[in-house]
Amino acid sequence: MLVTLFNSLAQFIPNVLEITGDISLGLAYLGAGFAVMTGLGTGIGQGIAAGHAAEAVGRQPEAQNKITLTMIVGQAVAETTGLYGLIIAFILTAKV
Task: Note the pTM of the prediction, 2 decimals.
Answer: 0.64
User: In total, how many domains does the chain have?
Assistant: 1
According to the model, what pLDDT value does residue 2 have?
63
pLDDT reading at 40 higher than 60: yes
pLDDT reading at 45 higher than 70: yes
The predicted model gives 33-54 an average pLDDT of: 89
CATH of the domain at 78: 1.20.20.10
The predicted model gives 36-64 an average pLDDT of: 90
> From the centroid of its chain, how far is CA 68?
24
What's the mean per-residue pLDDT of the chain? 82
According to the model, what pLDDT value does residue 64 have?
92
Residue 4, SS3? helix
> 31 is in which domain, residue-wise?
2-94
pLDDT reading at 78 higher than 70: yes
Say what the alpha-carbon torsion angle 11, 12, 17, 18 is, to the nearest 10 degrees. Answer: 80
* Residue 24 pLDDT grade (very low, low, confident, very high; cuts 50, 70, 90): confident
CB 89 within 8 A of CB 35: yes
Quick count: other Cβ atoms within 10 Å of Cβ 68? 14
According to the model, what pLDDT value does residue 19 have?
61
